[in-house]
Amino acid sequence: MLCYLLYGPGDLRAEEHDIPTPGPGEALVKIIGCAICHTDLAIIDGHWPFLTKLPKIIGHEYAGTVVALGPGTTSVAPGDRVAVYPSAPCGLCLPCRRGTFWLCLRPRALSGGFAEYAALPEQCLFRVLPQVTDEQALSVEPFSVAVHSVDLAQMQPGDTVVVIGGGAIGLVIVGMLRAAGAGKIIVSEPDPSRRPVAVEFGADVVLDPRERDLAAKVKALTGGMGADVVFEAVGLPQTVEQCFALVRRGGTIIIVGVALPEAEARFKPFDVFAGHLTIRGSWGAWWTIPRTIDLLPKVRPERVLTHRFPLAELPRALELRRKQVGIKAYVIP
Ligand SMILES: [Zn+2]
Ligand SMILES: [Zn+2]
């Protein structure tokens, strides 16, 4: 089978490997597609401290069809179409035993989606119904990031929200906020081609942060208060810093954009103290997947998929992502 292995920073190689044999508790999945995430570029460039064992087949937003079972696998059957969650909590470390699986100290990173097949533990496979399209199934992982971030915001129906960044995650957060009963949804996005898409996903107002004083505009739209919740979905120091000017007193900032590990942002501790602010970080979330799948027809996160390539053209698709052409590309074996 064709697969792409990362050997080190900038060293991604296309190779022919044998189709893997599923071990105990695993299933062999024939991959139907894998989307390209901005994080894949960070991983390829060596900016991902969690990836310790190389070489590794990368690609983490994928889905497939079960074609064979390993010994003792019972929760899926050959023919099932499954969304894949790309890492598994160990269930044994202290955070796992305390029920905080997202803080697992030894999560198992799975064989990735830039390949024709993967042998995967059944706990990371989630069956989807026939009416779920392939594009929806491979959007489950990034959509689950949006679902989890909205969970963490602990919003009330009608809350006013600012989403900084109209990329794939920002857009899907907007769709999720609309489904979750948010009030006014304001998006900040400099790329004019993305602004109408933000409206399609449910934004009420889309602002260009380069043209206007974003904070003054948000204040004007919120009766002088600021937003109840601000989602940072870019991952740059300046957009993280911007959150503090947009949130109301007592409001919540959710940082879901992936910054470089060495990036630093500045804020005034007094503003957090006097403003009773809540700041939360949000990452992927395995346990939100069943709800994420149920929400697919309502939010339609696959609308961010703008470009499709054969797996053999992955390097071209990655280049497109680097140049930020379109919103999101995916590859199909
Ligand atoms: Zn991703
Ligand atoms: Zn654990």
My answer on whether 24 and 99 are in the same domain is: yes
CB 243 within 8 A of CB 218: no
Please answer whether residues 33 and 310 qualify as being in contact, where contact means their C-beta atoms are separated by less than 8 angstroms.
no
Surrounding ion ligand 1 within 5 Å at CB are 37, 39
Asked whether residue 130 falls in the same domain as residue 171, the answer is: no
Tell me which residue range forms the domain holding 219.
152-281
Whether 106 and 77 share a structural domain:
yes
Query: What is the 331 CA–ligand 1 centroid distance (Å)?
Result: 14
Residue 109 lies in a domain: yes
DSSP bridge pairs for 309? 331
Ligand 1 center–CA 222 separation, angstroms: 32
Tell me, yes or no, whether 124 and 221 share the same domain. Answer: no
pLDDT, position 253: 98
Does 191 fall in a domain?
Answer: yes
285 CA distance to ligand 2 middle (Å): 14
From the CA of 76, how far away is ligand 2's center (Å)? 23
Q: Where do the DSSP E strands lie in 78-193?
A: 81-84, 87-88, 108-109, 117-121, 125-127, 161-164, 185-188
Residue 58 and residue 128 share a domain: yes
- Note the pLDDT of residue 131: 94
Same domain as 126, residue 43: yes
Q: Which residues pair with 310 in a beta bridge?
A: 332
> Angle at the Cα of 61 (from 57 to 63), degrees rounded to 5?
95
Q: What pLDDT is stored for residue 196 in this prediction? A: 95
Q: Looking at the structure, do residues 180 and 253 belong to the same domain, yes or no?
A: yes
Instruction: Tell me the ligand closest to 58's alpha carbon.
Output: 1
* Domain match, 41 and 128 both: yes
Q: Is residue 53 part of a domain?
A: yes
**Same-domain pairing of 9 and 124:** yes
What pLDDT sits at residue 205? 97
CA atoms within 13 A on the CB side of 188: 26
**Which of the ligands is closest to the CA of residue 140?**
1
Is 130 found in the same domain as 159?
A: no
Is 131 inside a domain boundary?
yes
DSSP letter for each residue of 285-331: -GGGHHHHHHHHHHH-GGGGEEEEEEGGGHHHHHHHHHTT-SSEEEE
- The tens place of each residue's pLDDT in the chain, 333 residues long, gives 999 999 999 999 999 999 999 999 999 999 999 999 999 999 999 998 888 789 999 999 999 999 999 999 999 999 999 999 998 889 999 999 998 888 899 988 899 999 999 999 999 999 999 999 999 999 999 999 999 999 999 999 999 999 999 999 999 999 999 999 999 999 999 999 999 999 999 999 999 998 879 999 999 999 999 999 999 999 999 999 999 999 999 999 999 999 999 999 999 999 999 999 999 999 877 889 999 999 999 999 999 999 999 999 999 999 999 998 999 999 999
Cα 325 to Cα 180, 193, 198, 236, 321: the distances in Å are 30, 10, 16, 19, 6
- Residue 149, classed as helix, strand or coil, is helix
Q: Is residue 147 part of a domain?
A: no
Instruction: Specify the CATH number for the domain of residue 124.
Output: 3.90.180.10
CATH number at residue 175: 3.40.50.720
How far, in Å, is the centroid of ligand 2 from the Cα of 105?
5
Residue 66 placed within a domain: yes
Q: Using the mean position of ligand 1's atoms as its centre, give its distance from the Cα of residue 85 in Å.
A: 11
**How many angstroms is it from 262 CA to the middle of ligand 1?**
19
CA distance 174 to 182: 9
268 in Cβ contact with 243 (< 8 Å):
no
The answer to whether position 73 is within a domain reads: yes
| Pair (270, 311) in one structural domain | no
DSSP-assigned letters across all residues of 240-281: HHHHHHHEEEEEEEEE-S---TT------HHHHHHTT-EEEE
Distance in Å, CA 4 to ligand 2 centroid = 28
Total domains, the chain: 2
Per the domain annotation, does 143 fall within a domain?
no
DSSP summary character for residue 188:
E
Peptide bond into 269 cis (omega under 30): no
Check whether residue 104 and residue 134 sit in a common domain.
yes
> Which pLDDT belongs to residue 3?
98
pLDDT given for residue 5 in this prediction: 98
141 alpha carbon – ligand 1 mean position (Å): 7
